[in-house]
Amino acid sequence: MDKHRTYKYYDLVMAAFVTVLLCSNFIGAAKQATVTFPILGTVTFGAGVLFFPISYIFGDILTEVYGYARDRRVVWAGFGALAFASLMAWVVVHLPAAQSDWMKSYQGQLEGVFGNAWRIAAGSMIAFWSGSFANSFVLAKLKIRTEGKWLWVRTIGSTLVGEAVDSSLFYFIAFAGIWATGDVLKVTVMQYFLKTGWEVVMTPVTYRVVGFLKRAESEDFYDRKTRFTPFTLDA
């Protein structure tokens, strides 16, 4: 791997990844949504599940095109962004509020949305870190095993593993003892199927983006000599 090589789109993909990660974890994670389908009936899920899987699609694209090591840098960037967002939310919530009627009302709303931010952030960071590295590792290994064929096997297979790790950690860390245990289990299982379903649905888009980036960057990296430790920022 040429550590000094620069890419035209790598930084843009990183920025998009971090944006999706932050928004999906802090805007939609705490809300339980319910939708009724004709055959399935009533389905309850965390609202953030509509957008969070996009970060895994970015992870697949990054690993497939640029390799595990460069995806590792993006994962750490996302981890740092979540840590800062958590700290900022805690500081903002705990700053003394002005004694106006509007602020007294708004402080309660702020605490309702971000008061549980430390648990959401802890769950997000642990689950995201573990799931993302599992996803990237599996995809990189499958790429070598399949000799670069059958991209859909790599993207879906790695997501099945990564999302299993992510889903099994996040909701229990963030909401155990806050939501009813049955709700935690129900949302966790439903989230897993929805997230992996997103990967299947988005496969044609993933193919197009991967193909475009490989041509534009003249890169199609194979992790044959990669050190798969997550504890480094080396590219």
Q: What is the pLDDT of residues 29-61, one digit of tens each?
A: 667 788 887 877 787 776 777 888 899 999 999
Task: Give the chain's domains with CATH numbers.
Answer: 10-217 (1.10.1760)
DSSP three-state, residue 35: strand
pLDDT at residue 153, rounded to an integer = 96
DSSP three-state, residue 95: coil
From residue 135, give the alpha-carbon distance in Å to each of 70, 92, 106: 14, 34, 40
101, amino acid identity: D
Local confidence band at 89 (pLDDT 50, 70, 90 cut-offs): confident
Q: What is the pLDDT of residues 123-149, one digit of tens each?
A: 888 999 999 999 999 999 999 999 999
117, amino acid identity: A
Number of neighbours of residue 223 by Cβ within 10 angstroms = 20
From residue 75, give the alpha-carbon distance in Å to each of 8, 63, 199, 210, 227: 19, 11, 19, 19, 16
Which residues have CB under 8 Å from 158's CB, separation 6+?
A: 60, 63, 134, 135, 136, 138, 139, 142
CA angle (28 as vertex; 24, 32 as ends), nearest 5: 140
Encoding tokens for residue 227? 């050190």
How many CA atoms does the CB half-sphere of 196 hold within 13 Å?
A: 21
pLDDT at residue 218, rounded to an integer = 96
Taking the C-alpha atoms of residue 44 and residue 95, their distance in angstroms, rounded to an integer, is 34
Which residues have CB under 8 Å from 221's CB, separation 6+?
A: 1, 65, 66, 67, 70
- Please classify residue 180 by burial: count the beta carbons closer than 10 Å to its beta carbon, then call 0-12 exposed, 13-18 middle and 19+ buried: exposed
210, amino acid identity: V
Local confidence band at 175 (pLDDT 50, 70, 90 cut-offs): confident
- Tell me the whole-structure pTM to 2 decimals: 0.88
Beta bridge partners of 37: 41
DSSP three-state, residue 7: coil
